[in-house]
């Protein structure tokens, strides 16, 4: 009996894979290593020290920008995930009809359009809203990030819905469950891993965004990425490495937590 094809058995696969990981992670490893540099250079090692982590911790501007980034990313991720969940349900729990492909492409349009185009469009739109309302708070950044993050949350949620067995939902309907109760007690528990994945993606994308933030934010509304960008234009010290290292650890922690949370309901189709 012929063996099934496996790309791992192709000549050079392991070598190419290792080279790819090396190229991807060497810059990150270098950034983390120089966060512990005792000197002021980001290119010359002068000894081990935690001084730059202490400097970042005692920098009020860094703390303020970090808290603002987490606040914006949390609200934007929740809003984007809610919208993405509703959109995924509307495009999967219905019979196919003319225009569905267009709607699918329309929802994912921010993934195809250059981010600078989205940023300029949001700038024009919200600049008029600011004039009409007189409000210039963080709400604009939260809504802008949410709008941009919707397709990132939509894709894993839609993928989860498409892979779910419809027999349980049909059984709930046969037992006279209302559509809301069927969603609450059947669909939502099965969909939860996809929602968590979408929420995680939206949060990380919002936390990392620079372009849209730079265009939409008002004075004094720097997030951590825009603050770091401003500092890099003036002077580069390992403090930037220390801040990046902390946020890298936060991102890894979030991914790890969501990974284990999303594994718990995996017996739904079992």
Is residue 267 pLDDT above 50, yes or no? no
Q: Tell me, yes or no, whether 238 lies in a domain.
A: yes
Q: Tell me, yes or no, whether 187 lies in a domain.
A: yes
In contact, 193 and 266? CB cutoff 8 Å: yes
Q: Tell me, yes or no, whether 36 lies in a domain.
A: no
Q: Tell me, yes or no, whether 10 lies in a domain.
A: no
- For the entire predicted model, the pTM comes to 0.81
Q: Tell me, yes or no, whether 230 lies in a domain.
A: yes
Please provide the average confidence, as pLDDT, over all residues in the chain: 84
CA 11 – CA 67 distance, rounded (Å)? 49
The CATH number of the domain where 136 resides is what?
A: 1.10.3720.10
Is residue 2 pLDDT above 60, yes or no? no
Q: Tell me, yes or no, whether 73 lies in a domain.
A: yes
pLDDT of residue 125: 92
Domain that holds residue 64: 60-269
CA-CA distances (angstroms) from residue 253 to 21, 140, 193, 248? 20, 28, 17, 9
CA 218 – CA 229 distance, rounded (Å)? 16
Q: Tell me, yes or no, whether 55 lies in a domain.
A: no
Is residue 249 pLDDT above 60, yes or no? yes
pLDDT of residue 261: 67
Which is higher by pLDDT, 107 or 145?
Answer: 145
Confidence of residue 153 (pLDDT cuts 50, 70, 90): very high
CA 57 – CA 53 distance, rounded (Å)? 6
| Domains in the chain, number | 1
Is residue 266 pLDDT above 50, yes or no? no
The SS3 assignment for 37 reads: strand
Structure tokens at 53: 């982590």
DSSP annotation string for 66-120? HHHHHHHHHHHHHHHHHHHHHHHHHHHSS---TTHHHHHHHHTHHHHS-HHHHHH
What digits encode the pLDDT tens for the residues 19-31? Answer: 998 888 898 888 8
Q: Tell me, yes or no, whether 33 lies in a domain.
A: no
């Amino acid at each position: 009996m012929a063996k099934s094809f496996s790309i791992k058995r192709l000549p050079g696969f392991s070598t190419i894979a290792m080279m790819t990981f090396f190229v991807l992670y060497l810059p990150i490893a270098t950034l983390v290593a120089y966060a512990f540099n005792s000197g002021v250079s980001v290119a010359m090692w002068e000894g081990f020290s935690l001084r730059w982590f202490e400097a970042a911790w005692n920098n009020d501007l860094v703390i303020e920008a970090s808290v603002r980034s987490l606040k914006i990313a949390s609200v934007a991720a929740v809003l984007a995930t809610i919208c993405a969940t509703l959109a995924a349900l509307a495009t999967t729990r219905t019979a196919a009809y003319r225009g569905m492909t267009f709607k699918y492409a329309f929802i994912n349009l921010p993934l195809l359009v250059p981010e600078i185009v989205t940023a300029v469009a949001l700038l024009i739109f919200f600049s008029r809203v600011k004039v009409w309302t007189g409000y210039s708070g963080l709400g604009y950044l939260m809504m802008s990030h949410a709008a941009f993050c919707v397709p990132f949350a939509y894709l894993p949620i839609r993928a989860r819905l498409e892979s779910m067995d419809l027999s349980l939902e049909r059984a709930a309907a046969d037992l006279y469950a209302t559509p809301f109760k069927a969603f609450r007690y059947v669909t939502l528990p099965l969909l939860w891993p996809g929602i968590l994945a979408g929420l995680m993606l939206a949060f990380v994308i919002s936390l990392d965004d620079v372009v849209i933030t730079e265009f939409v934010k008002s004075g004094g509304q720097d997030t951590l990425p825009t603050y770091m960008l401003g500092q890099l234009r003036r002077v580069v010290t390992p403090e930037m490495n220390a801040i990046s290292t902390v946020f890298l650890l936060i991102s890894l922690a979030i991914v790890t937590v969501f990974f284990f949370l999303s594994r718990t309901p995996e017996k739904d189709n079992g």
